[in-house]
Amino acid sequence: MTPEAVIHIISQAFWTTVVLSAPLLLIGFAVGIVVNIIQIATSMQDAAFSTIPRLGAFLFGFLLLMPWMLKQISAYSISIFGDLSRYAR
């Protein structure tokens, strides 16, 4: 396996990881900002109040995005295993 092939595999894996994790991270970030604004406006500093909505939004986003995520990870796996003979040389 050439160094270029290794770099290609690693960069493709990194990019797939970024693409798969970015939507969920953005959902968590947006919900966190909204919850923090509500906490500031109401002077309510309860840890459960900030954690539970964030986890709920994360779970909802995960369930909503799961078909797309499975399609992305399947395409990545097919591309890696499809080119396995090329990498084995």
pLDDT truncated to tens, each residue of the chain (89 aa)? 788 888 988 999 999 999 999 999 999 999 999 999 998 898 888 877 888 889 999 999 999 999 999 999 999 999 988 888 877 76
pLDDT at 1: 76
pLDDT at 85: 80
pLDDT at 70: 97
Radius of gyration of the chain (CA): 19
pLDDT at 14: 96
Domain region containing 18:
3-88
What is the token pair recorded at 45? 């500093």
Domain count, the chain: 1
pLDDT at 4: 86
Buried/exposed code over 41-79 (b: 16+ C-beta within 10 A; e: otherwise): eeeeeeeeebeeebeebeeebeeeeeeebeeeeeebeee
